Amino acid sequence: MGGTMRALVKHCAGFGAELREVPIPEPGPGEVLIKVEATTICGTDVHIYTWDEWAAGRVRPPYVFGHEFSGEVVETGIGVTHVAVGDRVSAETHIVCGSCPQCRRGEAHVCLNTEIIGVDRNGCFAEYAVMPAENLWKNPAGVPADVASAMEPMGNAVHTALSGPIAGRTVAVIGCGPIGVMAVAVAKAAGAVAVIALDINEYRLELAQKMGATHLVHSGEEDPVEQVRTITTGYGVDVVLEMSGNPTAIRQGFAMLTFGGRVSMLGLPTRPLQLDVAEEIVFKGAQVHGIVGRRMYETWQQTAGFLASGQVDLTPMITHRFSLEDYEQAFAQMMSGKSGKVVLYP
């Protein structure tokens, strides 16, 4: 295709980013070029933008960052048969090797050699992006570009919620950022009898209510463990979906869990934490699941199904939209804590 494009570049080992003109990437064998129609900001992107300890140890500027997007296939490389020019697609952002033991046993989401776009290689905060064709999910006509972009993080919510039985269970969702509020909606759609949303941010709790939470607990103003026990008539909650990564909230999550319950953990603590393993896991007979990415591509099928059926509506949690040029406002909105999903339009 040739030419240049506008792209948001993580330009230095420090705060911020720069909008630059960079070459349009060329698709190699098995790859496609996608015209980006919408891209959504993830918490990971905020880590990179603000240049925290995790980002300093992981990413290597300068490069184009961003990893959640949707768009239209405009060029295909040699050997591509899965998608064609004109297809509208979302992207599975984990590029896997296909040959490690995990990949070969059907567990590619924990591939030993995973590379993530926008983290380990150039990403999608740009007018165009290149992806392996096998990483693309074709969307039917009529799926809005912002919803299609949010399918990737929604997949995290689906994977977390559905990593064990949920129908007929009581569920606590700890941390009501965008993925947390999507997990609320998924748990409700999957048949949970109660979905308890916990956060210290009133704005996010209101979003959780819009997405289907049956109970709200403001953990900064009331004892969340006692509140959950009251809601569950003293027994504790059957399922905890831990989305916050906050050490205190994690300990509270284990404390509110019923005996024989499940904790599925997506949130990433910024430091090691202490937990009474004997009392909160072993003697409780608890199941603890670590969640990374999305099952490829079982989770994508479930995610697309929830959206197509209307059982999950992402509209309430897509709260702000900006042009790529207004990226500073977009990241400020994300960092304010008063947003759901923030969309950038190239």
Q: Is the pLDDT of residue 36 over 90?
A: yes
Q: What percent of the chain has pLDDT over 90?
A: 96
Return the number of other C-beta atoms located less than 10 Å from residue 28's C-beta.
12
Architecture of domain 4-155+294-345: Alpha-Beta Complex (3.90)
**CB of 180 closer than 8 Å to CB of 43:** no
Residues 6+ apart with CB under 8 A from 243: 160, 173, 174, 175, 176, 177, 179, 180, 183, 266, 267
- Helix axis angle, 224-231 relative to 247-256, nearest 10°? 30
Top pLDDT among 270 and 5 is at: 5
Q: What's the mean pLDDT in 193-200?
A: 98
Q: What is the pLDDT of residues 156-171, one digit of tens each?
A: 999 999 999 999 999 9
Provide the pairing of β-strand 257-265 with 237-242: parallel
Closest by alpha carbon to 128, among 25, 263, 52?
A: 25
Provide the pairing of β-strand 128-132 with 68-76: unpaired
Q: How far apart are CA 315 and CA 53, in angstroms?
A: 33
Q: Is the pLDDT of residue 338 over 90?
A: yes
pTM of the model: 0.95
pLDDT of residue 60: 96
Q: How far apart are CA 135 and CA 6, in angstroms?
A: 23
Q: What is the pLDDT of residues 40-86, one digit of tens each?
A: 999 999 999 999 988 999 999 999 999 999 999 999 999 999 899 99
Compute the 3-state secondary structure of the chain and give helix, strand, coil in percent, each to the nearest 5: 35, 30, 40
Delimit the CATH 3.90.180.10 region(s) of the chain.
4-155+294-345
Q: Which residues are catalytic?
A: 44, 47
Provide the pairing of β-strand 4-10 with 18-23: antiparallel
DSSP sequence for 43-64: HHHHHHHHT-HHHHHH--SSEE
Q: What's the mean pLDDT in 211-235?
A: 97
Q: Is the pLDDT of residue 270 over 80?
A: no
Q: Is the pLDDT of residue 1 over 80?
A: no
**CB of 148 closer than 8 Å to CB of 70:** yes
Q: What is the pLDDT of residues 94-153, one digit of tens each?
A: 999 999 999 999 999 999 999 999 999 999 999 999 999 999 999 998 999 999 999 999
For tokens 């304010």, what's the residue? 336
pLDDT of residue 276: 94
Q: What's the mean pLDDT in 284-310?
A: 96
Q: How far apart are CA 292 and CA 306, in angstroms?
A: 20
CATH class of 164-290: alpha beta
- For the record, the structure tokens of 197 come out as 């949303």
Q: How far apart are CA 148 and CA 142, in angstroms?
A: 10
pLDDT of residue 85: 97
- For the record, the structure tokens of 48 come out as 């990179």
Residue 269 banded pLDDT, cuts 50, 70, 90: confident
- Residue 196's Cβ-count burial label (10 Å; 0-12, 13-18, 19+) is buried
Torsion of CA 210, 211, 215, 220, to 10 degrees: -80
Closest by alpha carbon to 341, among 132, 89, 156?
A: 156
Phi, psi (rounded to 5 degrees) for 58: -120, -45
Q: Which residue numbers belong to the known binding site for NAD(+)?
A: 179, 199, 204, 266-268
Q: Which residue numbers belong to the known binding site for Zn(2+)?
A: 42, 67-68, 97, 100, 103, 111
Delimit the CATH 3.40.50.720 region(s) of the chain.
164-290
